Amino acid sequence: MSKAEREIVFVDGVRTPFGKAGPRGLYTHTRADDLVVRCIRELLRRNPSLPPERVAEVAIAATTQTGDQGLTIGRSAALLAGLPRSTPGYAIDRMCAGSLTAVTTIAGAIALRAVDVGIAGGVEHMSHHPMGDGVDPNPRFVAEQLVDESALVMGATAENLHDHDSSLTRERADAYAYASQRKYAAAVATGRIQPDLVSIATRDPELGWGLATADEQPRPDTTVIALAGLRTPFRPHGRVSAGNSAGLNDGATACLIAAAEAAAELELPAAMRLVSHSFAGVDPEVMGIGPIPSTEKALHLAGLSINDIGLFELNEAFAVQVLMFLQHFGIADDDPRVNPWGGALAIGHPLAASGVRLMTQLARQFEQRPNVRYGLTALCVGLGMGAAVIWENPHYADDMRPDATKVGAR
């Protein structure tokens, strides 16, 4: 029996400040699960009209699901956050698209009327779980030439993207990275980033207690000259450096996803409406192109074109990866619609957590930009995948379109 299509909305999202991975990072002595628990508790605090028992499912993503990111982290985080014991939860892994997949999985359950309200998020503590730690790739990948060896090293796949098109130069990548830092610094200066953040109590055995209130990764004083002088660890005389790549980070995100009618019943805001989403597979050696086919598929499902998208939140795993996406769709490197508050090149990229960061920033921008109807969140994903979600702005006012004053505009 068919059922009427159900509208799905993004209600609210939060994140921790992102810390640097390593022995001196913000969260070296803080547990990964405590980071995401703090996000869940903050969502409940900020939305007091939502009874905790109405949260029907908790989906939390982590790329490394062991230690303090293990024990079916969606369920364990739900219990630790004080949700009722009757609230189930689960863990998800789609590498960098983990929390994005948590959102689309909860959305699928809502569409099937199995769930009315759910929490989706992600966490990555790369201090405790370095990238690739404990991974044992099957030797057949290389022995049987299923993939090139570079497919298993994300920085090497970014160098492969530079090889793909000679116009994707080191200079363009460094210029894009510099712009990301500047945009992020401007967003902080104008108070645009801070509403997303939840403070985290930290403790260092030597320094004592502290409070994390701001991202640790950004380098607002960097220059293009400084970026050009950085070494290229993935290839001698290469083009991928620490400056035009996202950092290694610790952090967590969480958001509320709901059926539109449930949100209205519970007096929860509808910050965005989910229009379509798609995942795509590509050659693992050039995994950075993944957002191109996933975006094309999502646009097709929505009956839209790239020209309908008024805001882009693209994960900046590597500058070259974003540049290839923009070049494919005929978008300028400095198009103001793209990552207007900066991106992962400045903020950092705690793998599975990043998708919900993109969504939360897009939701804030929608509120301030009623002239924009559609926005896109997209990421490249390790082992050759891409992920994209198209959202609609509920604040959209047709008479505020850029062309609304033209003769004949409606």
Question: pLDDT tens digit string along 205-227?
Answer: 888 999 999 999 999 999 999 99
For the segment 85-106, the average pLDDT, to the nearest whole number, is 98
pLDDT digits (tens, 9 = 90+) for 17-69: 999 999 999 999 999 999 999 999 999 999 999 999 999 999 999 999 999 99
Q: What percent of the chain stands above pLDDT 90?
A: 91
Least confident of 96-100, 130-134, 188-192, 364-368: 130-134
Given pLDDT bands bounded at 50, 70 and 90, which one contains residue 408? very low
Alpha helices in 47-145 (DSSP H): 73-80, 98-111, 140-143
- Residue 343 pLDDT: 98
- Residue 149 pLDDT: 87
Taking a C-beta distance cutoff of 8 angstroms, is the pair 186, 318 a contact?
no
Q: What percent of the chain stands above pLDDT 70?
A: 96
- Residue 402 pLDDT: 52
For the segment 296-307, the average pLDDT, to the nearest whole number, is 98
Question: What are the backbone dihedrals phi and psi of residue 107, each rounded to the nearest 5 degrees, phi first?
Answer: -60, -40
Distances (CA, A) of 274 to 11, 91, 150, 213, 268: 11, 22, 35, 30, 16
Rounded to a whole number of angstroms, the CA Rg of the chain reads 20
Given pLDDT bands bounded at 50, 70 and 90, which one contains residue 401? low
Quick check: helix, strand or coil at residue 150? Answer: helix
Q: How many CB atoms neighbour CB 88 within 10 A?
A: 16
For 246-267, the DSSP string reads PPPEEEEEEEEEEEHHHHHHTT
What are the beta bridge partners of residue 8?
259
- Residue 4 pLDDT: 64
Q: What is the H or E stretch that residue 365 is in? A: helix 354-368
Active site residues: 96, 349, 380
What are the beta bridge partners of residue 67?
none
d(CA 214, CA 15): 11
For the segment 178-192, the average pLDDT, to the nearest whole number, is 98
For the segment 253-270, the average pLDDT, to the nearest whole number, is 98
Q: For 145-191+275-393, which CATH class?
A: alpha beta
- Residue 3 pLDDT: 60
